[in-house]
Structure 1
């Protein structure tokens, strides 16, 4: 299995989806940092926490909207490489079970997600301290928000893991790029638009937005990432297991 993971990393090192996952948080952080410096005259009052009301309001808002869509593109791009080169047919002739082949893909997808979220976390701090270094009026060092920042990114990682598994399932079923990415985009936008409705709380594509709301409000609630997440993981894993044995790739 270790060799399969190495092979997966090698195959996807120049994949546009992989590059998008890694560069996305860097680009967004740099964009918001520059935008904040350009609009420094309209800075919020210094008695408000800039980690929440500057970086949280912009960077994390973008994450809640675009991260699920970026993930949908990334997951499908991994399948697309295999299908274009007929690698699945070659893999399935090897003395390796189908389950192992697709488990390796899931491990790779989650590994890249971990790297992307860690990059997001790192550049979130870099943006804050850069703004404070250039203009002390931002007052980032005045507030200690380490706990809610770590909690936010931990919850974001948990919520995006569920989305990766769902997109894995959709990309396994649909060979076309259109449906998995369109479905993700539509459900993400729909859940954000109706985020005040209670029924939206069980939609996994709304979880990143719920993480943002908890971050802005300072909530330390993690209840949504217990039973609901576990339920989705079980459903997706069981469905994937059934499909992998039957589906024609």
Structure 2
């Protein structure tokens, strides 16, 4: 019986910077290509549930246009209120993962707009987010993160109704996680879908890792994140089609198969 050829990612370790408890999709995507995952969460997500949050969410969801910045924002919002766009309302998802979360929450697909380029720049380029003078725009999100969206919408004349429905709590790495990081050998790649996660991780790393970054490879979700990674010290970046784990891992697998790096 003929054996299948080894995957180009056999023996690779993918360092995942997703929130605590959120690495399963990355593990599944990596396993399909023969790679393993080292989970290095910079934070965990905590939903907010207080009167001020509920009031802000109600006002945001009543806007003519509503922007959701992540699947976590959809999950946190739907835990507080049913997500039902009113007549003539349009809701926007930063990417396909967020759009899928909205559909699971019961939002009709025809009421959702998703950019082809799944990042802040792609979202802000959508036609329905251009002429906004006198328009209320809800922003369902978390503190920090995608800070370019609200100022851009306001500059276009929108009244931005922000609702921070969850927050990021820093994670202190366990001794076991730190030991796995110290024992890591090549080949490996950092898988990055958040600039803030990358920056927090860099601050927490031991000095020897900061010195190794110029020779490290970062697989990122957008051209914008590629710039962030290079500014953080990475010598090489690889841009994926989206922030979805399957796309991030596929980009690395294709590059490895084509021997675009050593």
Give the TM-score category using the shorter length. Answer: under 0.3
Larger helix proportion of the pair: 1
Larger strand proportion of the pair: 2
Relative contact order higher in (CA < 8 Å, ≥ 6 apart): 1
The TM-score with structure 1 as length reference comes to 0.26
